[in-house]
Amino acid sequence: MTKKVCSCINELPDDLILKILSFVSTKHVVVTSLLSKKWKSLWTRVPILKYDVRDHTRFERFLDKSLFSHQSHVLESLHVELSVTLWNKDIGPWIRTALHHHHCHLRELEIDACIVHTVLPPELFTCKTLVVLKLKGIVIDVEAPLTTVSLPSLKTLHIDHSSLFDFGSLQMLLSNCNFITDLMVIRESRFFFAEYDVSWCKTLMALKLEGLKDVISISSSSAVCLPLLKTLHVARMEDFNNDSFCRLLSNCPVLSDLTLEEKTSDVLLNLDIDMPYLQRLSIITRVDADSKHIFSLMKNYTRKLAIIAPSFKYFSIQELAYASRYRYIVRVRLGVPSKLEDASTFSRIVHLELSICSERSVEMLVDLLLCFTKLVVLKLEHVYLLTPLGRWEPPSLVPECLLSSLEALEWKGYTGRYGDKDLRSNRLKRT
pLDDT per residue rounded down to tens, the chain (431 residues):
555 555 667 777 777 877 777 777 777 777 776 676 677 667 667 777 776 665 445 656 666 666 665 555 567 888 887 765 555 566 777 788 778 765 557 889 888 876 667 777 888 888 888 999 998 877 776 666 667 788 889 999 998 877 665 556 666 777 778 788 998 887 754 444 445 556 667 888 998 888 765 455 555 454 667 889 999 998 876 666 667 777 788 888 999 999 888 765 554 556 777 788 888 888 777 765 555 555 555 555 556 666 677 777 777 766 665 433 333 332 333 333 434 444 455 666 777 777 665 555 666 677 777 877 888 888 876 665 545 555 556 667 788 888 888 888 887 766 554 444 444 555 555 55
CA distances from 171 to 138, 168, 176 (A): 17, 5, 9
- Pairwise CA distance, residues 142 & 153, whole Å: 21
pLDDT the model gives residue 16:
81
Q: What is the pLDDT of residue 97?
A: 78
pLDDT of residue 182: 92
Q: Between vectors from CA 49 to CA 27 and to CA 55, what angle results, nearest 5°?
A: 30
Which H helix or E strand runs over 139? strand 132-142
CA–CA separation, 297 vs 136, rounded Å? 35
Signed CA dihedral, 126, 130, 131, 134: sign only = negative
Rg value, the chain, Cα:
27
Listed residue (329, 333, 382, 340) closest to 360, CA to CA: 333
Do residues 202 and 180 lie in contact, with contact meaning Cβ atoms separated by under 8 Å? no
CA distance 339 to 270: 13
Asked if 199 contacts 220 with a C-beta cutoff of 8 angstroms, the reply is no
| Total H helices, total E strands in the chain | 12, 20
Contact yes or no for 90/113 (Cβ under 8 A): no
pLDDT confidence of residue 212: 65
- pTM exceeds cut of 0.75: no
Q: Mention every residue, 6+ apart, whose C-beta is less than 8 A from residue 216.
A: 196, 198, 209, 237, 240, 244, 247, 248
pLDDT at 298: 53
DSSP string, 101-128: TTTT---EEEEEEEEEEEEE-GGGGG-T
For the chain, the first-to-last Cα distance in angstroms comes to 60
Distances (CA, A) of 120 to 124, 141, 157, 403: 7, 6, 15, 61
Whether the CB-CB separation of 332 and 356 falls below 8 Å is answered with yes
Distance (Å, whole) CA 102 – CA 70: 9
How far apart (Å, rounded) are the C-alpha atoms in residues 112 and 93? 16
Distance of alpha carbon 368 from the chain centroid = 29
CA pair distance 113, 136, nearest whole angstrom: 6
Are the C-beta atoms of residues 387 and 355 closer than 8 Å to each other?
no
Q: What are the backbone dihedrals phi and psi of residue 274, each rounded to the nearest 5 degrees, phi first?
A: -130, 90
Three-state DSSP at 259 gives strand
- What are the residue boundaries of the structural domains of the chain, listed by start? 1-43, 256-431
CB atoms within 10 A of CB 424: 22
